[in-house]
A and B are shown apart, each in its own frame.
Chain A
Amino acid sequence: MLEIRNLHASVDGKPILKGLSLTINPGEIHAIMGPNGAGKSTLAAVLAGKEGYEVTAGEVLFEGQDLLALSPEERSHAGLFLAFQYPVEIPGVSMVQFLRAALNAHRAAKGEEPIDTAQLMSLLREKAALLKLDPAFLTRSVNEGFSGGERKRAEIFQMAVLNPRLAILDETDSGLDIDALRIVAEAVMSLHRPDNAFLVITHYHRILQYLTPNFVHILADGRIVRTGGPELALALEEKGYEPFLSQVV
Chain B
Amino acid sequence: MNTITVTPLSLEAGAAHLEKLLRENTSSLPGTLRDKLAAAQGPDTLAALFPGESLHEEWKYTPLSILRTPWQLGQAVLSEEPSLPSLPGVSPHPIRPEAVESSPALESLPAPITPWERLILSGATRYAAATLPKDGFYTLAVSQPTPQQAAPTFYALHVPSGVQAEVLLNTPTHPEALLLLQLHIALEAGARLTFYHAAPEGVQGSVLFLFSTAIEREAHLSFYSFPSRYRWIRTESRVLLTGPGAEGLLYGAHTPHENELCDTAIRISHLAPHTHSNQLFRSIAFKGGRRVFLGRIHVAREGQKTNAYQSHKAILWENGAEVYSRPQLEIFADDVRCTHGVTTGFLQGEMLFYLRSRGIPDAAARALIAEGFLMEALESVPTEALRTYARHNLGLPL
Contacts and interface: CB of A to CB of B under 8 A. Distances in A.
Contacts of B354: 84, 87-88, 90
A72 B351 CA distance: 13
Interface stretch (B76-84, B262-270, B355-363, B382-390): B355-363
B348 interface: yes
Interface in A79-101: 81-82, 84, 87-88, 90-93, 97-99, 101
B369 A93 contact: yes
A158 interface: yes
Chain A: interface size category: 20 to 34
Contacts of A109: 359
B346 interface: no
A49 to B, nearest CB: 7
Interface stretch (B96-104, B161-169, B198-206, B370-378): B370-378
A106 B353 contact: no
B355 A77 contact: no
A76 interface: yes
Contacts of A90: 351, 354-355, 368-369, 372
Nearest to A50: B353
B353 A51 contact: yes
A71 B372 contact: no
Contacts of A158: 358
A186 interface: no
B364 interface: yes
A91 B357 contact: no
A97 B360 contact: no
Interface string A30-69: 0000000000000000001111000000000000000000
A54 to B, nearest CB: 15
Contact of A71 (B349, B356, B374): B356
A82 B379 contact: no
Contacts of B365: 73
B350 interface: yes
Given A90-B372, A92-B372, A102 B359 contact: yes
A101 B366 CA distance: 12
B358 A162 contact: yes
Interface residues of B, number: 25
A120 interface: no
Interface in B331-355: 348-351, 353-355
A106 B361 CA distance: 10
Given A76-B357, A87-B354, A92-B375, A105 B369 contact: no
Contact of B355 (A50, A75, A98, A106): A98
A73 B371 CA distance: 20
A141 interface: yes
A84 B351 CA distance: 12
A105 B357 contact: no
Nearest to A93: B372
B359 A88 contact: no
B110 to A, nearest CB: 35
Contacts of A91: 372-373, 376
B374 A92 contact: yes
B368 A93 contact: yes
Contacts of A101: 355, 360, 364, 368
A193 B199 CA distance: 54
A90 B366 CA distance: 11
A88 B358 contact: no
Contacts of B360: 73, 101-102, 105
Given A92-B379, A105-B361, A73 B372 contact: no
A106 B359 contact: yes
Interface of A: 48-51, 71-73, 75-77, 81-82, 84, 87-88, 90-93, 97-99, 101-102, 105-106, 109, 141, 158, 162
Given A71-B362, A93-B371, 18 more contacts: A49-B357, A73-B357, A73-B361, A76-B356, A76-B357, A87-B354, A88-B354, A90-B351, A90-B354, A92-B374, A92-B375, A93-B368, A97-B368, A101-B360, A101-B368, A102-B355, A141-B372, A162-B358
Closest 5 CB pairs of A and B: A92-B372, A93-B372, A76-B359, A72-B356, A102-B358
21 contacts: A48-B353, A49-B356, A49-B357, A50-B353, A50-B357, A71-B362, A72-B353, A72-B356, A73-B359, A73-B360, A81-B357, A90-B351, A90-B372, A91-B373, A92-B379, A93-B368, A97-B368, A97-B372, A102-B358, A105-B364, A141-B372
